[in-house]
A and B are shown apart, each in its own frame.
Chain A
Amino acid sequence: MTADMPTAFWSGWIAVLTLVSLAGMVWLVWSVYFGRDKGQESKPGPVWDGDLKEGERPAPMWWIWLLFGSLIFSLVYLMLFPGLGSFQGLLDWSQGSRVAASYDDYEARFAGTRAEISAMSVAEIQNDSGLMATAERIFRRECAVCHGPEGRGQADMFPNLHDVDWQWGGEEDQIRQSIRGGRNAVMVGWEAVLGADGIEQVSEYVLSLADGVAANHPGKAIYDRNCAVCHGADGAGNPLLGASRLSDRIWLYGGDPKSIRETLTQGRFGIMPAFDEQRLDNTQLQLILALLVR
């Protein structure tokens, strides 16, 4: 807590100047108020409008007490809170400890509820509409910015979470892993290997996979040699590698011939950032899983 404090010399400098100024103000107010009669002995002051002189009337008493009151307040404040050099104050208050105290209070109030939720299975949470509403709020705060407010994907880049295709697997443990550890999908660009004609043929073949494997398609040989190792001979994909399923009509980066060609040419590098416990704690993660697992 003392890391941001001034050195001993400057600490003393601050304390002495502050206290001397305070004492000086007390003296000034006190002497002006109670010493006004003696002041006129030295020599007569200026007189205006016939009879108007300085120091004739005392300042009102409430004004004097207001001034003394604020001086006393600042003295008490400097005793309780940090301010007088490196003196921490009797309350030992700091901005950091205020945040820590807020978290302690939060823990004390909600630890029980949170433990209850963490212990619930995904199916149990799904049956509780109140918890599901909370889960949706967390989703909108943490996930919606990429996956869309409804989780239906957007920008031809961020996956729809409602369809049956899960690039990295849709089981509870697989989704938990995707969120906690993040995912880095790597599909390199194939232009140098396949050439423009090769890319044209493979993209046609890949688009036709939804209708079943066409044995005599010219793209099949190229696909089997280069693509099948990750995406499978029948295009079923492989969630261990994050290789998408190609044998259906769901396309992450767009399913028109032009988008498929673009994917093949320049490659795709989809990243799911990791959400550590600072950003999404275990209770919140459990709620999100209930929202996503089907």
Chain B
Amino acid sequence: MNGMWLHRKIEENTGLLIFGILFVSAIGGLVQLLPILEQDSLETAAGNTRPYSAIELTGRDIYIREGCSVCHSQQIRPLIAEVERYGPYSRAGEFVYDRPFLWGSKRTGPDLHRIGGKYTDDWHRIHLLDPRAVVPGSIMPAYPWLARREASAAGDITAKMRGLRRLGHPYTDAEIAGAEAELEDLLEIDALIAYLQMLGTGLGGEDGQ
């Protein structure tokens, strides 16, 4: 048997050609994708990573709505320059409760994966409402409406948590039932700050060096 014979055979038989194309292009997926579906380490939370609380989840949705991930990435690469600037590099297990993950692809502003705990709540409040008040050269837009809207109006939190539980996030009935009460009297900016302050804090004892 040789290749020229096979070549002719395939060329003269459309059905065989279609099957051959499908088979060859499936190999990449069989090698790269199929084993990952069975890989536990990608489903296991790293360190103290936990599901988002009702407030943090609302903040995360505001983060998505305002397009923060367009200018800010959430992935610190394993390179000394990044670790020095931002903190320990990102681990796969830190994103198990991110649906979808917000790694981003462009840094117009700095990476935010380790922003949690770096600045105070008050700083974030001033900075979100008027970035130039604390960072004179900043090109970030101001988000004044975050301090005017109720956090509970940013979507049906109960439905969101139920949906995520169906996808495997371990929310209890009590947490879902109490979600709306948690958002009471909070503004959107409070929820967003709560989300920012917990970002990247799940690594626990591991460090990036």
A32 with B3: CB separation less than 8 A: yes
A96 with B80: CB separation less than 8 A: no
A278 with B92: CB separation less than 8 A: no
Q: Which of B88, B119, B133, B209 has the most CB of A within 10 A?
A: B209
Chain B residues positioned under 8 Å from A155 (CB to CB): 126, 133-134
CB distance from A279 to the nearest CB of B (A): 8
A38 and chain B: residue at smallest CB distance: B2
A273 with B2: CB separation less than 8 A: no
Question: Interface with B: A97-105, A194-202, A226-234, A286-294, which one?
Answer: A97-105
The A interface, classified by DSSP as helix, strand, loop or mixed, is helix
Which chain A residues numbered 9 to 41 have a C-beta less than 8 Å away from chain B?
10-11, 13-14, 17-18, 21, 27-32, 35-36, 38-40
A39 with B35: CB separation less than 8 A: no
Query: Number of contacts between A and B (CB, 8 Å)?
Result: 111
Asked whether B163 is an interface residue with its Cβ less than 8 Å from the other chain, the reply is: no
CB distance from B84 to the nearest CB of A (A): 9
Asked whether B185 is an interface residue with its Cβ less than 8 Å from the other chain, the reply is: no
- Chain A's interface size range is 35 or more
A271 with B38: CB separation less than 8 A: no
A7 and chain B: residue at smallest CB distance: B38
Contact (A149, B136) CB under 8 Å given A38-B4, A100-B209: yes
Which chain A residues numbered 131 to 157 have a C-beta less than 8 Å away from chain B?
145-146, 149, 154-155, 157
A5, B92: Cα distance in complex, Å: 12
18 contacts across the A-B interface (CB closer than 8 A): A4-B39, A4-B41, A4-B42, A13-B31, A27-B3, A31-B1, A31-B2, A31-B6, A32-B2, A35-B4, A95-B78, A100-B209, A145-B134, A145-B135, A157-B122, A158-B134, A278-B207, A279-B87
